[in-house]
Structure formats: structure tokens, C-alpha cells
């Protein structure tokens, strides 16, 4: 290639790379066993049924092997006894920004969080290590009857709504990490939107890991009652430590008849985080669930947002952008399970591999024989920037019956040298030309993200591209 500019430190401008000294009031210590679970239950004053639930989950977790027969062997580098599973400065989230402890406040200030809240959003929940440090839900939304709380608050205050759905969309035993989360979950959002209520502005959460050798296990449950609509956005960051950090969340969505849930994530964990997440939604008759997912950070992400289309004419969609740089593996995809007639699913995945980064697409589409009139469309495109960049695609499409329509398109490409020459001939540097080309590649999908996220997305991609040329 043309004369290589110096490779700059890609993360030199990482806004999230800072840390405050730990000030934990509660610390479950290293390692995971029944005592850890008891500690968590005691701190949270969990009811008996949860204590039971957690303990059973712990047993399930211990009994399941690591899925290295199909997933990356890097999972073997997770040493469960070297994490702390619960850390917090106190359990009650503050309602007023002034009451939030100084270092937590400065963390979120630096990440731009309260600003966001003022400007645009209906409600914000900010989690710092294991607990929510700040939570606020605008009056308007509250008056509409919307509930927005963290998972602990929810199971105490709203058990009649929480309990029927908790653990139903993603059963404990779904996989090793949903079991882990079920044992030690803390924080995460609980949202209930009443019938017919359409929440105009997005509800939002931020997840921040401050401590070293720590596992964050938030549990989110969102229920949109009949005809309800909402958009939920989450962003995640962590400083870079030399030791590993584990993030294993579970997100369950329930869209009742005619409801619509859009769940937007921009994940920018630092490069030492193992990000193993289980996300799934159940869409009832004529309901719609859309996952809009962007994975830029972490050392290893394994995440396959899914939709079970349980009612007639239900719709599921996954829009995914992944960027894997050297030292990163983004192993993402989608699971579309058709369980009713005339259901439609759509998966659009675009990945970019830079340096020695690896991106993997795993897409499951399941349409059984007895259903009629189901449709699936899948499109997965991979862009390889450097000669050592890597991408894999594992589609698993199972369609039975003769009244369905399935379509699968895949492509792997490089940014052509001719395209770069054209852009450079107009005065753009090689880095600028690459950035523009890569942004062009994901442009269609970036437009699906709310405006300030797509601006942030472009900024993050430009940063990643800086070190990639040559």
C-alpha cells in the first residue's frame, strides 16, 4: 500500500478509559459458590423464591460445560474463581443527580450521561458496577403508568407483573451463561408499558464497570402490554484493565398483542471484557420486536438476539453492526424462531474486520412444517480491511413445509483499491478514504440508530479506522 502513516494507539481517545478507586460498601469477595448467592440475597433482602431461584441456577451453571465445542477456545481463559460477583456502594439508586456520590457522578458526567437525559430522553437508569446509581423517569412517562425500575426494585414492588414473565423468555438452563446470570443477577431494567401507551421518547440505561476482576450481570425484563410501544437504548463502557472482566447479561422482552419494542444497544466495552449475553423476545399476535445492535468493543462478544414469533403475523427483526479489531472477536448473529402462521423475520448483519480482528455471524432461522405463510429474509455482509482480518459465517436455516419464503444473501468483500484511489484523488487521505468507505458500508444500518447514537457510531468507527491503514 501507499506509505504507511504511524499506527496510532487506537484507544488513545477512548473516553471511557479511566477509573476511580473502589469504594465498595458491599463486596462478595472472589469466587462463586452458594455463600456468594446468600451474600447477594442478604444485601438485597431478596424474597425466598428468588434465593431459591438463584441457588438452582447456580447448580445448573456448575453442571453445564463451556460450549467450546462450537464456540471459541478463548472461553477457556475465563477463570470464574478470579472474579468478584457483587460490588456496590449501596443499594438504593438516587433520584436526584446531586445525591449521587461524587466519583460516580464524575464518571457519568464524563461519559455525557446527564446531558443526554436533559436533552432528549424520557428516563435514564445508570448502573455502576452491580447497582443502579441513578435513576430518573420523567414525570410524563410516569403519569402514563409506565414503570421503569431496576430489577431488584421490580421484584420487590411489582411482583405481580414481574414474576409471571421473569425467566420465561429465557429459562435458566438455556445456556451456561443464562444460568450464571440467573444465579447472580443484579441491576438491569424492569419496564412495564400499559395497554395502548406509546412512549414517545426513548428510555435509556447506561452500564458502567468501574472495578477490576469483576463480573457484571444485569437482568432486564421489558413488558409491553397490548398495543404499547417503546424504544429502549443501552450503552456500555468500562475502563481497560489488564485483568479480565466478565459481562453476562440477560435481556427478556415481551410484546403482547399489537405491541412494538425496539431495543437499541451500542456496546463499546474495553478490550479485556468477555461479553456473553443472552437476549430474546417473545412477540405475540401482530406484535413486533426489533433488536438494533452494535458491537464495537470487548475482547469477546457472544450475542445472538432472538425473537420467538408466537402469535399470528408477529414480526421479528435483528439489525446488527459489528466491528472487530486486532485482539477482538465479535461472535454475533440472530435467532428467529417462527411459532405461528404468517410471521416474518428479517436479519441484516454487517461486520467489519480490521487488523487481525475476527467477526463471526451465526444465524438460526427455524420454521416448522405445520406453519403457513412465514417469511424470512437474511442478509449478512462482511468487510475485510486488512489481509489478516477474518470473518466466518454459520447460517443454520431450517425450513420445513411448502408455504414459506426464505431468502439468504451473504457477501464478503474488501474495500477495493480502486475505490480508495478515487477517494484519494479527491484529496482525502488514505485513512479518511477508508473511514468514508466503511461508513458507507454500514450507512443503511447506521440510519436505524437514533441520531445521537449514529453520530457516536461514526466517531467510534473513524477512531478504529485510524490505525488500520497500511
Binding site residues, other proteins, CB under 8 A: 1-3, 416-419, 421-430, 432, 436-437, 439-444
- What is the Cα–Cα distance from 246 to 222, expressed in whole angstroms? 23
Question: All 3 cell numbers of residue 437?
Answer: 468507505
317 and 288 Cβ atoms separated by less than 8 Å: yes
Of the candidates 5, 32, 133, the residue with the CA atom closest to the CA atom of residue 86: 32
Q: How far is CA 128 from the centre of its chain?
A: 16
**Cβ 424 to other proteins, closest distance in Å?**
4
Residue whose entry in the numeric block shows the C-alpha cell 456496546:
267
Q: How far is CA 87 from the centre of its chain?
A: 21
269 and 297 Cβ atoms separated by less than 8 Å: yes
225 and 259 Cβ atoms separated by less than 8 Å: yes
- What is the Cα–Cα distance from 293 to 304, expressed in whole angstroms? 10
Pick the closer one to other proteins by CB: 376 or 454.
454
Pick the closer one to other proteins by CB: 298 or 349.
349
**Cβ 367 to other proteins, closest distance in Å?**
31
Pick the closer one to other proteins by CB: 354 or 442.
442
**Cβ 427 to other proteins, closest distance in Å?**
4
Pick the closer one to other proteins by CB: 193 or 461.
461
385 and 356 Cβ atoms separated by less than 8 Å: no
Helix or strand (DSSP H, E) at 58: helix 48-63
Please name every residue paired with 360 in a beta bridge, in sequence order, or none if there are none: 331, 392
Collapsed DSSP state (helix, strand, coil) of residue 154: helix
- What is the Cα–Cα distance from 22 to 449, expressed in whole angstroms? 34
Collapsed DSSP state (helix, strand, coil) of residue 10: helix
Pick the closer one to other proteins by CB: 173 or 431.
431
**Cβ 470 to other proteins, closest distance in Å?**
12
**Cβ 436 to other proteins, closest distance in Å?**
6
Pick the closer one to other proteins by CB: 229 or 464.
464
381 and 349 Cβ atoms separated by less than 8 Å: yes
Count of alpha carbons within 13 Å of 197, Cβ hemisphere only?
20
Residue whose entry in the numeric block shows the C-alpha cell 461514526:
458
Pick the closer one to other proteins by CB: 224 or 433.
433
**Cβ 350 to other proteins, closest distance in Å?**
10
**Cβ 412 to other proteins, closest distance in Å?**
15
Pick the closer one to other proteins by CB: 34 or 444.
444
- What is the Cα–Cα distance from 47 to 9, expressed in whole angstroms? 48
DSSP 8-class letter at 69: T
CA angle 398-403-407, nearest 5°? 50
Pick the closer one to other proteins by CB: 68 or 429.
429
**Cβ 324 to other proteins, closest distance in Å?**
19
Contacts of 126 (CB under 8 A, 6+ apart): 108, 113, 132, 133, 134, 135, 205, 206, 208
**Cβ 447 to other proteins, closest distance in Å?**
10
**Cβ 409 to other proteins, closest distance in Å?**
15
Of the candidates 216, 22, 188, 40, the residue with the CA atom closest to the CA atom of residue 104: 22
Pick the closer one to other proteins by CB: 99 or 444.
444
Pick the closer one to other proteins by CB: 33 or 416.
416
**Cβ 382 to other proteins, closest distance in Å?**
15
Amino acid at each position: 500500500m501507499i506509505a504507511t502513516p504511524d499506527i496510532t494507539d487506537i484507544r488513545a481517545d477512548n473516553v471511557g478509559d479511566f477509573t476511580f478507586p473502589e469504594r465498595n460498601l458491599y463486596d462478595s469477595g472472589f469466587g462463586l459458590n452458594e455463600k456468594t448467592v446468600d451474600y447477594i440475597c442478604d444485601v438485597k433482602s431478596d424474597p425466598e423464591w428468588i434465593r431459591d431461584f438463584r441457588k438452582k441456577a447456580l447448580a445448573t451453571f456448575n453442571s453445564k460445560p463451556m460450549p467450546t465445542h462450537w464456540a471459541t477456545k478463548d472461553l477457556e481463559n475465563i477463570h470464574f474463581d478470579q472474579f468478584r460477583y457483587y460490588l456496590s456502594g449501596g443499594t438504593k439508586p438516587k433520584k436526584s443527580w446531586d445525591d449521587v456520590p461524587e466519583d460516580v457522578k464524575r464518571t457519568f458526567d464524563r461519559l455525557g450521561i446527564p446531558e443526554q437525559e436533559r436533552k432528549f430522553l424520557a428516563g435514564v437508569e445508570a448502573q455502576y458496577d452491580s447497582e443502579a446509581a441513578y435513576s430518573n423517569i420523567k414525570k410524563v412517562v410516569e403519569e402514563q403508568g409506565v414503570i421503569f425500575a431496576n430489577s431488584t426494585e421490580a421484584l420487590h414492588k411489582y411482583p405481580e407483573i414481574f414474576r409471571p414473565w421473569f425467566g420465561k423468555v429465557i429459562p435458566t438452563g438455556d445456556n451456561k451463561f443464562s444460568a450464571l446470570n440467573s444465579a447472580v443477577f443484579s441491576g438491569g431494567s424492569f419496564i412495564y408499558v400499559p395497554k395502548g401507551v406509546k412512549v414517545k421518547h426513548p428510555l435509556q440505561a447506561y452500564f458502567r464497570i468501574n472495578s477490576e476482576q469483576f463480573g457484571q450481570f444485569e437482568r432486564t425484563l421489558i413488558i409491553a402490554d397490548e398495543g404499547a410501544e417503546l424504544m429502549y437504548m443501552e450503552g456500555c463502557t468500562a475502563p481497560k484493565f489488564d485483568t479480565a472482566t466478565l459481562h453476562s447479561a440477560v435481556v427478556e422482552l415481551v410484546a403482547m398483542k399489537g405491541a412494538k419494542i425496539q431495543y437499541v444497544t451500542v456496546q463499546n466495552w474495553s478490550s479485556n471484557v468477555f461479553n456473553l449475553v443472552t437476549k430474546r423476545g417473545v412477540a405475540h399476535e401482530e406484535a413486533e420486536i426489533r433488536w438494533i445492535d452494535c458491537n464495537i468493543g470487548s475482547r469477546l462478544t457472544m450475542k445472538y438476539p432472538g425473537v420467538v414469533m408466537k402469535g399470528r403475523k408477529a414480526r421479528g427483526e435483528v439489525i446488527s453492526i459489528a466491528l472487530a479489531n486486532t485482539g477482538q472477536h465479535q461472535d454475533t448473529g440472530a435467532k428467529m424462531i417462527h411459532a405461528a402462521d404468517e410471521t416474518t423475520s428479517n436479519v441484516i448483519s454487517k461486520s467489519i474486520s480490521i487488523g487481525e480482528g475476527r467477526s463471526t455471524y451465526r444465524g438460526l432461522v427455524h420454521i416448522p412444517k405445520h406453519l403457513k405463510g412465514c417469511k424470512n429474509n437474511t442478509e449478512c455482509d462482511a468487510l475485510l480491511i486488512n489481509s489478516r482480518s477474518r470473518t466466518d459465517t454459520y447460517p443454520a436455516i431450517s425450513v420445513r413445509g411448502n408455504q414459506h419464503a426464505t431468502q439468504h444473501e451473504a457477501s464478503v468483500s474488501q474495500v477495493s483499491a480502486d475505490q480508495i484511489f478515487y477517494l484519494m484523488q479527491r484529496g482525502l487521505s488514505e485513512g479518511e478514504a477508508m473511514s468514508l468507505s466503511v461508513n458507507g458500508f454500514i450507512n443503511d444500518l447506521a440510519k436505524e440508530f437514533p441520531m445521537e447514537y449514529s453520530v457516536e457510531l461514526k466517531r467510534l468507527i473513524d477512531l478504529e479506522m485510524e490505525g488500520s491503514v497500511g
